[in-house]
Amino acid sequence: MSTPERFRLEISGAVQGVGFRPHVFRLASEKNLAGWVGNSSAGLTVEIEGPADACADFLHAIRSAPPPNASVHDINVSRCRLEGAAHFVIRASTLEPGDAATEILPDLATCPDCIREIFDPANRRYLYPFTNCTQCGPRFSIIKSLPWDRENTTMRGYAMCAACRSEFDSPGDRRFHAQPNACAECGPTLAFTDEHGSEHAIDEEALERAAAAIEAGQIVAVKGIGGFQLIADARSTAAIATLRERKHRPGKPFALMMPDVETVRYHCELSALEEQLLTSVRAPIVLLQRRSRSTLPAQLAPGNPNLGVMLPCSPLHHLLIRRIGFPVIATSGNISNEPLCIENKEVFDRLAGVADAFLIHDRPIARPVDDSVVRAAADRELVLRLARGYAPISLGGAMPPVLATGGDQKAALAVAGSFGIRCGQHLGELGSEPAQRVFAEQCREFPDLCGVRATAVACDLHPDYHGTRWAEGSDLPMIRVQHHHAHIAACLAEHGITTEVLGVSWDGTGYGEDGTVWGGEFLLATQEEFQRIAHLRTFRLPGGDLAVRQPRYAALGLLEEIGVSVADTPLAVAFTAEELAVARTQIERDIKAPRTSSAGRLFDAVAALLGLRLRNEFEAQAAMDLEFTASIAKGEAKLARMRIGDDGVVDWAPVIRSLLEAIQSGAAVSAIAAEFIVVMSESIVELARRTGKSTIALSGGCFQNVRLLEITVARLRAGGFTPAWPQRLPPNDGGLGLGQAVVAAARLRNQVS
């Protein structure tokens, strides 16, 4: 037998609430090691004592096979003095309140073991919709404060029954310290109500009634993990039409929930990566290419070749969807532009006239957490909406305490602290009063939850963003961060890039340092500073916001800028004489006709010139049309290249002139669209060459266009550059908060040092 030794392990990362302690306990017991394991502020501390070879085996096993949902950043191993211990024990939580240096875990989709139990008639959790274990279940949506203990969750009102308590207390049990542990005896219950909240059924009968209502074509509001969803039969054009009308959502695609991977594969193309995303413990909505054989109505996603699909992500969803057996719409439980409903007491008012019936339960939701949206791009995951299963996400090392308030659309907060920088969940548009209330609540609550007392607030340069106003009212020092720099800083932080890069920050709208509307920017940037070295040629947007909603006005501004008469273009028929007169006056007199260098608006304008879309029904619709059309390009079209001047103006004039000629000569619209995207990406490669930076960071909402992203990445690589783009954080304004926090924390840190 080898000589006895004792080791101490400090394990950091997302290691609490994932069954790590029982995992360590089982491993140590198997190898007959003594010692202990406990949560610590850094994560987890383990001490083991026993024969040297058993210790080595243990260390190897911990490193090579941690619990599946844990994310280990680092394991620090040190040798310590023998204590002659005889047993291995799990120590109670040693965390003090406010000592919140550990990760907050996202909600985890139901694990296979729990699914097996809820469909096993012999199991005591048969058909129980709130089943969970250390590998799965709600986390972020129920936590009120750290540490991760039941008392600090919305489960605190439920006392565990004897059977649940015994699981919770047994180190060998897969529900050992599963904080939301519950069963039908002691946990939350389900109820089916009418639209006024009158209860008609509970438990299993409630499920049955909800399933029957959906089968009958009704719209049922279902209280999910982080908020209400509206569920309806995805096969029914009548149900789709009703839901569109009631939700004030004429054209935006609806997300679907499908019973299983086989059903998804029937309706959609599914690559290995996409399948992995779909079936992951994060269980997001994945944008997939629809197959021609799919019989689902086109009205689910009009004019869109993709479907947003997710699988059931909680026992409640598994039970409901298995009963129904067909794909359903599962869209956020709100009216357009309002925040997600999470409270039983308000839902009957807020969703009155939208839902025909309600499937509710009494486990409170701590904060709204919508469904996440991702897609595969350039062989990587591309997160488009960071919410359930993904939020919060933490990056990097210790930072000064900062709160960042993010953007006005796709709002999301971020905080910096001892744990690094943490990005919160998607909060949506802040246009409505209820949304602003939720936003203000989260500004107070999120730093608290993270144990951060902010000494500064970072916000956008835009004076009218709600986050800027909130910061002004906070009495804390403000650090204003330019929009496009924040986009790039977020990308740099995600990839741990600390050198200066060429940042290509392309989006719809962002407040520029000169007070104009930026959006097609080339920045020399670090996480702390930037210099705008080039930008797309500016043009006017007659009507301001009107031109954002109606790409035909962006096209008009584009044409006016280069002196082309709209009468000589296919857009001639798109305006009345009066509309044209008003727009021309706005441009000539400089009233409500802001100048912009926006790449997003340039894409919009081109989509309008190509006749793809004159008016948007939802944000970025025209740009999406351009992408979709390009992806089915037939034939070829020749376009001129951008003219890049020494003044850093990237001039699209030759491109647009040649594009108009191509239309006139009868080239296929799809081929022109495809070539235009190539021209845009070539301008990036050309700027990369001129700048001589090896790393090129691509961010901003335009890079949600997978075609633009993939072509640019490929061409940059071919040119010997290293492209970096957001993958775990959204390239859109959902990543702004994190970027602001990165810039602010870097500046504060450098002030101190």
Report d(CA 75, CA 10) in Å as an integer: 6
Give whichever of 9 and 114 is closer to Zn ion, judged by the CB atom: 114
Stretch that binds Fe ion, among 110-118, 143-151, 567-575, 726-734 (CB under 5 A): 726-734
Binders of Fe ion in range 48-67 (CB under 5 A)? none
Structure tokens at 507: 């989006």
Tell me the closest approach of the beta carbon of residue 252 to Zn ion, in angstroms.
34
Stretch that binds Fe ion, among 205-213, 586-594, 710-718, 731-739 (CB under 5 A): 731-739
Residue from 507, 560, 561, 619 binding Fe ion (CB under 5 A): 507
Q: Which does 384 bind (CB under 5 to 8 A by kind): Zn ion, Fe ion, none?
A: none
Binding residue count for Fe ion, defined by CB under 5 A: 3
Stretch that binds Zn ion, among 136-144, 353-361, 367-375, 593-601 (CB under 5 A): 136-144
Q: Are 219 and 231 in contact (CB under 8 A)?
A: yes
> Measured between alpha carbons, how far is residue 130 from residues 111, 293, 305, 731, 735 in Å?
12, 36, 36, 34, 32
Stretch that binds Fe ion, among 173-181, 195-203, 502-510, 670-678 (CB under 5 A): 502-510
Helix pair angle (551-561, 653-664), 10° resolution = 110
Q: Are 401 and 454 in contact (CB under 8 A)?
A: yes
Report d(CA 679, CA 171) in Å as an integer: 61
Is residue 115 left, alpha or beta, with left meaning phi > 0 and alpha meaning psi from -120 to 50?
alpha
Tell me the closest approach of the beta carbon of residue 410 to Fe ion, in angstroms.
9
Stretch that binds Zn ion, among 142-150, 182-190, 550-558, 675-683 (CB under 5 A): 182-190
Q: Which does 151 bind (CB under 5 to 8 A by kind): Fe ion, Zn ion, none?
A: none
Q: Which does 111 bind (CB under 5 to 8 A by kind): Fe ion, Zn ion, none?
A: Zn ion
Contact status: 136 vs Zn ion (CB under 5 A): yes
Q: Which does 507 bind (CB under 5 to 8 A by kind): Fe ion, Zn ion, none?
A: Fe ion
Residue 383 CB contacts under 8 Å (≥ 6 apart), including other chains: 284, 372, 373, 374, 390, 726, 727, 728, 729, 730
Contact status: 169 vs Zn ion (CB under 5 A): no
Give whichever of 164 and 403 is closer to Zn ion, judged by the CB atom: 164
**DSSP-derived secondary structure letter, 137:** B
Please write down the long-range contacts of 59-67, taking CB distance under 8 Å and 24 or more positions apart. Answer: 59/7, 59/9, 61/27, 62/9, 62/11, 62/24, 62/27, 66/15, 66/20, 66/23, 67/18, 67/19, 67/20, 67/23, 67/134, 67/135
Contact status: 521 vs Fe ion (CB under 5 A): no
Q: How big is the CA angle at 228 (ends 224 and 233), to the nearest 5 degrees?
A: 85
Q: Which does 164 bind (CB under 5 to 8 A by kind): Zn ion, Fe ion, none?
A: Zn ion
Q: Which does 731 bind (CB under 5 to 8 A by kind): Zn ion, Fe ion, none?
A: none
Tell me the closest approach of the beta carbon of residue 184 to Zn ion, in angstroms.
7
Give whichever of 507 and 528 is closer to Fe ion, judged by the CB atom: 507
Give whichever of 117 and 408 is closer to Zn ion, judged by the CB atom: 117
Contact status: 111 vs Zn ion (CB under 5 A): yes
Contact status: 108 vs Zn ion (CB under 5 A): no
Residue from 72, 161, 533, 564 binding Zn ion (CB under 5 A): 161
Tell me the closest approach of the beta carbon of residue 11 to Zn ion, in angstroms.
22
Note the Cα 289 to chain centre separation in Å. Answer: 20
Give whichever of 164 and 702 is closer to Zn ion, judged by the CB atom: 164
Give whichever of 88 and 128 is closer to Zn ion, judged by the CB atom: 128
Give whichever of 25 and 676 is closer to Zn ion, judged by the CB atom: 25
Report d(CA 277, CA 377) in Å as an integer: 12
Structure tokens at 393: 């996400």
Q: Which does 476 bind (CB under 5 to 8 A by kind): Zn ion, Fe ion, none?
A: none
Stretch that binds Zn ion, among 65-73, 127-135, 294-302, 624-632 (CB under 5 A): 127-135
Structure tokens at 279: 């079936």
Amino acid letter, 566 = V
Give whichever of 136 and 541 is closer to Zn ion, judged by the CB atom: 136
Give whichever of 114 and 231 is closer to Zn ion, judged by the CB atom: 114
Binding residue count for Zn ion, defined by CB under 5 A: 10
Tell me the closest approach of the beta carbon of residue 132 to Zn ion, in angstroms.
6
Tell me the closest approach of the beta carbon of residue 516 to Fe ion, in angstroms.
15
Pairing of strands 88-90, 34-40: parallel
Contact status: 183 vs Zn ion (CB under 5 A): yes
Contact status: 133 vs Zn ion (CB under 5 A): yes
Tell me the closest approach of the beta carbon of residue 124 to Fe ion, in angstroms.
51
Instruction: Name the E strands within 81-189.
Output: 88-90
Residue from 18, 55, 142, 164 binding Zn ion (CB under 5 A): 164
Q: Which does 133 bind (CB under 5 to 8 A by kind): Zn ion, Fe ion, none?
A: Zn ion
Tell me the closest approach of the beta carbon of residue 383 to Zn ion, in angstroms.
24
Name the residue among 226, 124, 229, 119 with its Cα closest to residue 182: 124
- Three-state DSSP class for residue 676: helix
Pairing of strands 420-423, 71-80: unpaired
String of DSSP letters for 317-362? HHHHHHHH-S-EEEEESS-TTSPPP--HHHHHHHTTTT-SEEEEES
- Three-state DSSP class for residue 243: helix
Contact status: 523 vs Zn ion (CB under 5 A): no
Structure tokens at 463: 């004076």
Tell me the closest approach of the beta carbon of residue 698 to Fe ion, in angstroms.
13
Report d(CA 696, CA 694) in Å as an integer: 7
Residue carrying the six token digits 């909060």: 427
Contact status: 114 vs Zn ion (CB under 5 A): yes
Tell me the closest approach of the beta carbon of residue 367 to Zn ion, in angstroms.
22
Pairing of strands 228-233, 220-223: antiparallel
Residue 84 CB contacts under 8 Å (≥ 6 apart), including other chains: 49
Residue 117 CB contacts under 8 Å (≥ 6 apart), including other chains: 123, 125, 126, 131
Tell me the closest approach of the beta carbon of residue 737 to Fe ion, in angstroms.
12
Q: Are 177 and 168 in contact (CB under 8 A)?
A: yes
Q: Which does 733 bind (CB under 5 to 8 A by kind): Zn ion, Fe ion, none?
A: Fe ion
Q: Are 470 and 413 in contact (CB under 8 A)?
A: no
- β-partners of residue 428 are 411
Contact status: 371 vs Fe ion (CB under 5 A): no
Contact status: 675 vs Fe ion (CB under 5 A): no
Report d(CA 309, CA 253) in Å as an integer: 11
Give whichever of 353 and 515 is closer to Fe ion, judged by the CB atom: 515
Report d(CA 420, CA 440) in Å as an integer: 23
Give whichever of 130 and 506 is closer to Fe ion, judged by the CB atom: 506
Stretch that binds Fe ion, among 81-89, 628-636, 705-713, 730-738 (CB under 5 A): 730-738
Tell me the closest approach of the beta carbon of residue 503 to Fe ion, in angstroms.
13
Contact status: 178 vs Zn ion (CB under 5 A): no
Contact status: 408 vs Fe ion (CB under 5 A): no
Tell me the closest approach of the beta carbon of residue 732 to Fe ion, in angstroms.
6
Tell me the closest approach of the beta carbon of residue 234 to Fe ion, in angstroms.
32
Residue from 528, 625, 675, 733 binding Fe ion (CB under 5 A): 733
Stretch that binds Zn ion, among 158-166, 247-255, 634-642, 674-682 (CB under 5 A): 158-166
Using CB under 5 A, list all residues that contact Zn ion.
111, 114, 133, 135-136, 161, 164, 183, 185-186
Question: Which residues sit at the interface with Fe ion, rule CB under 5 A?
Answer: 507, 510, 733
